[in-house]
Amino acid sequence: MKEKEEPLWVLGMMSGTSLDGVDAAMVLTDGVRVLDFGPHGFRPYTAAERAVIAAGFGRWPGDPGVRAAAEVVEGAHIELASRFSDVALVGFHGQTLAHDPGGRGTHQAGDGAVLAEALGLPVVWDFRSADVALGGQGAPLVPFFHHALARRLGAEAPLAFLNLGGVGNLTWVDPGRLSPEAPGALLAFDTGPANAPINDLMQARLCLAQDEGGALALQGAVDEAVIAGFLRQSYFHRMPPKSLDRNAFHDLLPGVAHLSDADACATLTHAAAAAVARGAEHFPQAISRLLVAGGGRHNQALMAALRQRLPGMSHGAVEDIDATGLNGDMLEAQAFAYLAARVRRGLATSGPATTGVRAHVGGGQISQPD
């Protein structure tokens, strides 16, 4: 690792399990500090593209449908990245199709070498495989970026970041620790399902992509018996770090099949919040702020459920991260820009307290254009 390195404008790109589309955002960083934020953009998937990618869920390289999904992912990312200028480096997460740490590994569709050739830029990709190969969960990877953000915000006391994508994940941060590798700086893990089962319910029952703003859930009554059964599942009794595949809780939808649309939606929404509350029991110290990012923060029913189920969390303490001046829609894309810069410098991107890997490890490979 070089002792000093000039900051670069890095373009980070992320396609999450909710399959809404591709986020891209530029970050000025030296891989240690977050110095500035640049332009960002979004390229939605069409319904046909979503169907092709969704057909690849749960599948591994070489399985039917995987190559077609990868081509959709690559094409969408290339199209979006081509809109940006003055990019020195690209961080490309790809699309997670299957995630089985301790088993078959982790699989993100999309070849960074294809992007490097198309864009004429170096591309950092395959961020998770090295972590999994060394015994880690391979997720979540955003916590090192969360640590940098907490220090950029000038936070002094422990706080937590919650991302509500298809799956929810929490990062507890002690900003008093100077680096994310420092003992006691971080604890991170997936909480449980978040938007994915809500979106799946809306698609299956009403042919809608999501519960816009939480409107349907706000009309429904919560079946607490379903939530109690959900919280008895073995995942909630495991100590973190731990991670999930998007479809790990596949029995949630059958579990609300007897409920009306509104009641089922309300119950799945509160299940996501209950999973976060159960996760918060693992925090090493109490927090005064929970900064919420990801698409789920736009769901008012979900935000209200978090305030209801998290002990000591008032309205102001559960905060849309946008209120801090950060961009909650682009946080994961920005994270992979930051992580790409770390990979380029040979710095760690995950550690024992974030993924359970045996030692701090720098993931990712770099593809150069011909």
Sequence-separated (6 or more) residues with CB below 8 Å from residue 253: 197, 200, 201, 204
Mean pLDDT, residues 314-337 taken together: 90
Is pLDDT at 340 greater than 90 in this prediction? yes
Number of domains in the chain: 2
Sequence-separated (6 or more) residues with CB below 8 Å from residue 78: 114, 115, 118, 119
Task: Find the length of the chain.
Answer: 370
Q: Are residues 222 and 160 in the same domain?
A: yes
Please give the pLDDT value at position 248.
82
pTM of the model: 0.91
Please give the pLDDT value at position 315.
52
The backbone torsions φ and ψ at residue 179, rounded to the nearest 5 degrees and listed phi first, read -140, 160
Q: Are residues 23 and 133 in the same domain?
A: yes
Is pLDDT at 246 greater than 80 in this prediction? no
Q: Are 125 and 114 in contact (CB under 8 A)?
A: no
- Domain at 85, CATH number: 3.30.420.40
Q: Are residues 174 and 320 in the same domain?
A: yes
> DSSP E strands: which ranges in 182-324?
186-193, 290-293, 318-320
Q: Are residues 162 and 297 in the same domain?
A: yes
Largest CA distance in the chain: 60
> Per residue in 152-198, pLDDT tens?
999 999 999 999 988 899 999 999 999 999 999 999 999 999 999 99
Q: Are 299 and 273 in contact (CB under 8 A)?
A: no
Q: Are 26 and 39 in contact (CB under 8 A)?
A: yes
Please give the pLDDT value at position 148.
98
Has residue 150 been placed in a domain? no
Short-list 86, 96, 78, 111, CA closest to 36: 86
> Per residue in 253-266, pLDDT tens?
999 999 999 999 99
Which residues are registered as beta bridge partners of 15?
Answer: 22, 95
Q: Are residues 236 and 301 in the same domain?
A: yes
Name the amino acid, one letter, at 111. Answer: D
Has residue 2 been placed in a domain? no
Please give the pLDDT value at position 213.
97
Q: Are 44 and 86 in contact (CB under 8 A)?
A: no
Q: Are 101 and 136 in contact (CB under 8 A)?
A: yes
Q: Are residues 221 and 254 in the same domain?
A: yes
Has residue 67 been placed in a domain? yes
Please give the pLDDT value at position 1.
45
Has residue 145 been placed in a domain? no
Alpha-carbon distance of 107 to 98, in angstroms, equals 5
Q: Are residues 77 and 226 in the same domain?
A: no
> Per residue in 40-97, pLDDT tens?
999 999 999 999 999 999 999 999 999 999 999 999 999 999 999 999 999 999 999 9
Has residue 74 been placed in a domain? yes
Q: Are residues 318 and 194 in the same domain?
A: yes
Sequence-separated (6 or more) residues with CB below 8 Å from residue 258: none
Q: Are residues 120 and 269 in the same domain?
A: no
Has residue 148 been placed in a domain? no
Is pLDDT at 341 greater than 60 in this prediction? yes
Short-list 127, 126, 123, CA closest to 142: 127
How do 318-320 and 290-293 pair as beta strands? parallel
Alpha-carbon distance of 146 to 350, in angstroms, equals 12
Has residue 270 been placed in a domain? yes
Q: What percent of the chain has pLDDT over 70?
A: 98
Is pLDDT at 316 greater than 70 in this prediction? no
Is pLDDT at 2 greater than 60 in this prediction? no
Short-list 41, 50, 48, CA closest to 77: 41
Short-list 293, 246, 254, CA closest to 53: 246
> Per residue in 105-142, pLDDT tens?
999 999 999 999 999 999 999 999 999 999 998 988 99
186 compared with 251, residue with greater pLDDT: 186
Is pLDDT at 245 greater than 80 in this prediction? no
Kindly tell me the sign of the dihedral angle through the C-alpha atoms of 37, 313, 275, 217: negative
Q: Are residues 292 and 351 in the same domain?
A: no
Q: Which domain holds residue 76?
A: 8-140+331-367
Between the CA of residue 94 and those of 97, 172, 244, 347, what are the distances in Å? 9, 26, 17, 21
Please give the pLDDT value at position 26.
98
Has residue 147 been placed in a domain? no
How do 123-125 and 89-100 pair as beta strands? parallel
Structure tokens at 167: 């799956």
